[in-house]
Amino acid sequence: MAVEVRLPTVLRSHAGGSSTVSAEGATVGEVLADLVRNYPGMAGQIVTDDGSLHRFVNVYVDDDDVRYLDQLDTKVADGDTVSILPAVAGG
């Protein structure tokens, strides 16, 4: 599956300044792995070393936060948009 990935500003420098790139995969986890293969500077910034979603980012398939779906196992279809945005929280 080819999907469009929308990048947050903080990751764009690793993709030559692009706000949107394309990546391949059948699940969100595969798409993010493909993204990191293409743009190694993003390694560790979206998915942690233990294979879970980094708590400082939100990842969506179209309008839905994957944390409310099947996390990294959430399936994607051709033409879906995967958006990565910062998780916004503090004290």
Query: What is the longest distance spanned by two Cα atoms in the chain?
Result: 40
Does residue 78 belong to the site contacting another protein (CB under 8 A)? no
Stretch that binds another protein, among 25-33, 36-44, 51-59, 70-78 (CB under 8 A): 51-59
Q: Using the rule CB under 8 A, which residue among 9, 22, 48, 52 binds another protein?
A: 9
Does residue 50 belong to the site contacting another protein (CB under 8 A)? no
Sign of CA dihedral 77, 83, 84, 89: negative
Q: Using the rule CB under 8 A, which residue among 10, 18, 71, 75 binds another protein?
A: 10
Nearer Cβ to another protein, position 37 or 55? 55
If one counts every other C-beta atom within 10 angstroms of the C-beta of residue 35, the result is: 27
Are 72 and 35 in contact, with CB atoms under 8 Å apart? no
What does each C-alpha distance from 85 to 8, 45 come to in angstroms? 5, 12
User: Where on the chain is the footprint of another protein (CB under 8 A)?
Assistant: 8-10, 56-58, 60, 63, 65, 67, 83, 85-91
